[in-house]
Structure 1
Amino acid sequence: MKNSLISKDIVPTLAKQRVISGFGFFNIWVGMAVIIATFQIGANGIDSMSLWKLAGAILLANIIIAIIGSLSGDIGVEHGLSFAAYLRAPFGIKGVHIPAVSKGIIASIWFGIQTYLGATAINYIFHSLTGFDSWFFWYVAFAVVQIINTAMGIKAIDRFAVVAAPSIILISVWIFFKVAGMADDKGIDVYSYVGTKDTTTWFLVIAANMGFWSALAVDIPNITRYVKAPKNERSWLKRNKNNYIPHLTALPIVQTFMGVIGAVSFLGTGLWNPIEVIQQTSTGWVMAVVLIMVVLAQWSTNSAANLIPASLTFVNAGSRFKVSYTVGIILAGVVGTLFQPWAILDQLFIFLGYYGAVLSALAGIMLCDYYIIRRRRLNVEELYAEEGQYKFDGGVNWAGMISWIIAGGAAIYFLDYMYIVGFPLGIACYFVLMKAWYLKRHPQKEIDSRFSDDYLGTTVGRDWHIEVLEEAIQPSLNEVGVKKGDLA
């Protein structure tokens, strides 16, 4: 009988499959961090504070998220595990599907939002040039292109990022000076401007930004499992340098700059989206430059930040039905469209608040399980065993599930302070329930071994070979875009 927990797309990656360099991961992060919706966060805050204060709030929020992402990224670096496969430890082999599929649906929705924003910009330009007017046509076309590119594998995404990242940075700088000039024409000095309205606070800007990236902070192992890491390196900092350096540089800097552009655009034109502003005031090659910016920004974000995470959660949930990586990507596109992202965009901050609250609790539970409860040790082989230690009670780890309900519910109740409430409460609840209750009922080998190195991966130079992996490895490598020549 086929083991329903094993699929070639969610078994641990091997060292020879780690094909992304630190610079490559930096480029991928630049692409992921440029989200047009981020402009709205900056615009919503500028009426209540100075540009510098606003930038400080966005920067601080994203540094915190980058640290959390770097910590969870070690799961991929150390053990080669995807987000959903690892989540079997704190939630159980069946319980995992509730948080994992929920996260997959959220990533799918974000794919739809990004694709819609790109499609409307493409439609505007083609309508101006040809008279053809159908944003939904361009939505479908843009979605199909992104799905095909992502289905080609991680190497294709890596290569695309090499082109996209510098292009996005250069065009973003140009857009900033363009909208800053518009503000100057209105007599507004953006560098000395201080908002006087009481519409938001510095703290709420931080909370909104943390909610914005709460999803990727927990499922970044989907990408870091392909990041190069030195074997037999016991220092966390040295082993993870290709993980945390891109996190701490690309995300905070690029996100802060995007928020600033949105704020300046709002000051100069009254619109938060500078893309719309430039489209309405420009023609010819300027419109072409804007089109490139929109396409590259949405495409690069969707591939790594939305389609891959969503696909792998669907693969994990549908492994008994042989759902493949490619099928998972197509499902993500369909699900994201069915949720009508064009309607969600009108209520973006409500959407950000609720899903950021739920995922803040998930991040706390995940990091508590990995660093505090198991001390980075993991019985990886039993993550794929239907009758193993992670079966818990009928496939559910109730310590994780109860902690998620309590911490996630509290974060929703205190929505304005979601991450500040959900993250630490998730850690505290899970720690107490595991130590006082669940570990007594369900002993964990990696813990009972007094945290033996037998349960470490990259730190001790170990690849985790799962049964039937040898049969599946070449198709798996082909799916992620690795050719035989890359393994020499």
Structure 2
Amino acid sequence: MAQPHDIGGAFAPSKPDTDRQHLLEASILPVWLNQRTIGFFGFIWLWIGMAVIIATFQLGAGGVAGLPLHQVVAIIFIANLMLGVVMSLTADIGTEHGLSFAVYLRAPFGLKGTHLPAVSRGVVAAIWFGVQTYLGALALNGIVEYLWGLDNWILWYALFAVVQIINTALGIRAVELLASIAAPCIVAISVWMYFTLDVLAETQGINIWTFVGDQDVAALGLFFANMAFWSALAVDIPNLTRFLRAPGGERGFFRRNRNVFVAQFLALPATQAWIALIGGVSFIAAGDWNPVTVIQGQGGGLTLIALLLMVILAQWSTNNAANLIPAALTFVNAGAPRVSYPVALVIAGVIGTASMPWLILDNLFTFLSYYGAVLSAVGGIMVADYYLLRRRRLNVPALFDTEGQFRFMNGVNPAGLIAWIVGGGLALVFLEYAYAVGFVTALVVYVVLMKAWILRRYPQEELESGFDDRFLATSVDRNWVYTEQGRFERLRTDDIPASALKREDR
């Protein structure tokens, strides 16, 4: 087992570096404080870009089919606030230790067990990439067909997929730059869409704020459906927050994660509620949840092109941060060192296309419900492991050590897998309330199994040390640094040697 020394000490592996190469790849090494480039506004733009997706329109339309518009907007806003709490908790894994989602899962699931939940999330992200790329391709095809009469969405699907993969392969700076350009444009166009749809409703004598549909829609069901909507990012948000600027040496949770809060407690809820509102208004005005289709049918020219450009930018900015990065990192974690980050991005593109997203789109909310239920349990396990058991301390070098404490039972932590199966299974049974059922059940089962069984057989250094600060990083102004000597060191940023193995900008 890797044995830490003093606060800046070295962690030597229990076996030679060549025996644990499958745990190492540059793109999944911890991110240092001086490698974190996303600032306050950058994270806000990322969230705005991610929140504007076609499925959000459908969420709002489904709500107003049986509830007043103001109630639908309030439910969606509050649901995202609640989800922001979960995201802020899991986000600290990235800001504190600089770790990706899949690598962290080696702690609650084991060095091999991590691949089941991590790759499951990766496949879902890849499928979402396919869905978003398909929608973007249709928009591209619409522009080209309008301007030059060429109708070939398959061609634009392939080109759009390649462009997105290349953009994401360029690194987190390229992803952030796209979001900073796309988000303001999307917001401006969406405001115009709202007023256009409102006028359309008024011409029919409909007041959008007093309209009530005749379908049976449960407010609580809408609430949990919206939480399931972002259940995937609620667990793998460390993939992004490990690049988020954080003050070194700041022990206060709120101060250390201050760049997280405005984005996740304001930008996400407000944007999600706003886009759902537009989808609701579109349904009220024309009986169609898709405002792009509705307004497109009202005219052409610059109006049509502007709408379709919004669709393209929305799918692109969402795919980079919310789908391609999470998918690629889980595939790298499963296939390191043979699977590099660029190769993993291509794998994500192939899986997303092979899933035939044009068919999934017809059953989108069934897809959302089922994977949201399964991933809710993973979120409960992460919160239980990181806060309730380890108290934010983590033996990071052991995550990369084949014979370290996270080997558990032949590489698998049965507590994590059992909690995931029980929590995810119950969530599928109680699908309408899946997120709450899966999250809470998995959290409780995991804690009970760890304390009653696993910790007695497989001691964890963080806990045995009395939660010593040598298992912290950002809070004590340290970085987890993997050197060319094949060991981890906890160093101040200014003390990182030139011999340290720098991770790629992924």
TM > 0.5 fold call: yes
1:451 matches 2:467: yes
Query: Secondary structure of 1:464's partner?
Result: strand
1:194-241 CA deviation, whole Å, 9 max, x = no partner? 23321x211111111111100001001000000000011110000000
Match of 2:55 in 1: 37
Aligned residue in 2 for 1:347 = 363
Out of 54-63 and 98-107, give the one that drifted further: 54-63
Q: Deviations over 1:57-108 (max 9, x none)?
A: 1111111111111110100000000000000000000000000000000000
- 2:306 maps to 289
Q: Using the TM superposition, name which of 409-418 and 465-474 deviates more.
A: 465-474
* Structure 1 position 136, deviation (Å): 1.4
Mapped to 2, the partners of 1:135 and 1:182 lie a distance apart of 30
1:138 to 156, 167, 170: 156
1:372 aligns with 388
Aligned match of 2:232: 215
* Deviation, structure 1 residue 472: 7.3
1:406 corresponds to 2:398: no
Are the equivalent residues in 2 in contact too, given 1:67–1:244 (CA < 8 A)?
A: no
CA distance in 2, matches of 1:392, 1:177: 58
> Which of 240, 256, 265 is residue 257 of structure 2 equivalent to?
240
Q: Map residues 461-472 of structure 1 onto 2, 5 A cutoff.
A: 461-468=477-484
Structure 2: distance between partners of 1:266 and 1:196? 13
Letter in 2 for 1:412: L
- 2:332 & 2:500 partners in 1: Cα distance? 15
* Residue matched to 1:393: 409
- Within 2, Cα distance between the matches of 1:104 and 1:60? 28
Aligned residue in 2 for 1:384:
400
Q: What is the rounded CA distance, in whole Å, between the counterparts of 1:399 and 1:164 in structure 2? A: 43
Given the alignment of the two structures, is residue 312 of structure 1 paired with residue 333 of structure 2, yes or no? no
3-state DSSP of counterpart to 1:110: helix
Q: 1:106, 1:295 → 2: CA distance?
A: 21
Q: Percent identity?
A: 53
In 2, Cα distance between the equivalents of 1:190 and 1:471?
63
Query: Which deviates more from structure 2 when the two are superposed, residues 65-74 or residues 76-85?
Result: 65-74
Q: Which residue of 2 aligns with 1:258?
A: 275
Which stretch has the larger CA shift, 123-132 or 292-301?
Answer: 123-132
Look up the SS of the partner of 1:437 in the other structure: helix
Aligned to 1:377, the other structure's residue is in SS state coil
Name the SS of the counterpart of 2:289 in structure 1: coil
3-state secondary structure, aligned to 1:406: helix
Q: Secondary structure at the match of 1:167?
A: helix
Aligned-residue Cα RMSD (Å) equals: 1.2
C-alpha deviation, 1:123, in angstroms: 1.3
2:146, 2:263 → 1: CA distance? 39
Query: Normalising by structure 2, what TM-score?
Result: 0.92
Deviations 1:442-461, CA, capped at 9 Å, x for gaps: 10000111110010010001
**Alignment CA distance shift 1:330-1:472 (3 Å):** farther
Maintained 8 Å contact 2:482/2:501: no
Aligned equivalents of 1:373, 1:467: Cα separation in 2: 29
Query: Which deviates further from its counterpart, 396-405 or 464-473?
Result: 464-473
Q: Which amino acid aligns with 1:414?
A: F
Alpha-carbon distance, 1:293 to partner: 0.6
The letter for the 2-side match of 1:55 is V
State the one-letter code of the partner of 1:338: A
Pairing of 1:109-188 with structure 2 (within 5 A): 109-188=127-206
Point out the more displaced range, 445-454 or 136-145.
Answer: 136-145
Alignment partner of 1:362 out of 362, 371, 378: 378
Q: Which runs of 5+ in 1 are unaligned?
A: 481-488
* Residue 485 of structure 1: aligned partner: none
Which amino acid in structure 2 is aligned with residue 173 of structure 1? V
The alignment of Structure 1 onto Structure 2 pairs a total of residues equal to 476
TM (norm. structure 1) is: 0.96
Deviation at 1:128, TM superposition (A): 2.4
Partners of 1:67 and 1:334 in 2: CA distance: 34
Q: Specify every segment of 5 or more residues in structure 2 that has no aligned partner in the other structure, as ranges.
A: 1-17, 487-497
**Residue of structure 2 equivalent to 1:58:** 76
Q: 1:228-287 CA deviation, whole Å, 9 max, x = no partner?
A: 000111100000001122111111000001111101001111111111112222211111
2:481–2:501 CA contact under 8 A, matched in 1: no
- Preserved CA contact (<8 Å) 1:125 1:279: no
Once the two structures are overlaid, the 10-residue window that deviates more, 465-474 or 439-448, is: 465-474
Aligned to 2:369, the other structure's residue is in SS state helix
8 A contact 1:51–1:190 mirrored in 2: yes
One-letter amino acid matched to 2:260: N
**Per-residue deviation, 1:44:** 1.0
Match of 2:343 among 327, 330, 334: 327
1:141-168: CA deviations, max 9, x gaps? 1111111111100011111111111111
